[in-house]
Structure 1
Amino acid sequence: MRRHVLVSYDISDPKRWRKVYKIVRGYGKHVQYSVFLCQLTERDEAELKETLKDVIHHDQDQILFARLGTVQSNAVERNVTSIGRDLVPLDLKDLVF
């Protein structure tokens, strides 16, 4: 089952930031600076976390994973609001695997 997962990161080094950006970009849609909206299975999420563990400095960087609900529940549309530009719903066809 796929879940909407909001992935946000604070990476202190620009070189590591670019690496993290490129990795997470392969799993979801870039919605703001250092924020991605992804549709992940448990396996996808575990794989993403394992890949990122090897890139970041654990005492300097932080990556947050916020599970927003299942894809079928449309939880993002109900639970995430925005001011300014509208949140564009994530479509699976936009993802690159």
Structure 2
Amino acid sequence: MRKAMALLSVLMPVLAMAAEPAQGETLKQGLMYLGAGLAIGLAALGTGIGMGHAVRGTQEGIARNPTVGGRLQTVMFIGLAFIETLALYALLVAIILLFVK
């Protein structure tokens, strides 16, 4: 199931590019849409993996030494905020690609 979903997510932009272009749509616009989708998609993938590693490390640390759980959790939330900022920057880049001519 995972492999099918991964394959579908990789092939979806290819299928979209294979369709007949709408009236007035140029190759440049199509590539901007593709670039915006890839920018936010790859950023979401990377930040999701990073957040998973951060949470896993925090949970392992709390399991080993429960007395420092509050400190580790605070540091984890700060780190997650920095990681999420990267996804927001990618969203900003995607929006710029879509709306700047």
More helix by share: 2
State whether TM-score is above 0.5.
Answer: no
Instruction: Give the TM-score taking structure 1 as reference length.
Output: 0.29
Q: Which has the larger radius of gyration?
A: 2
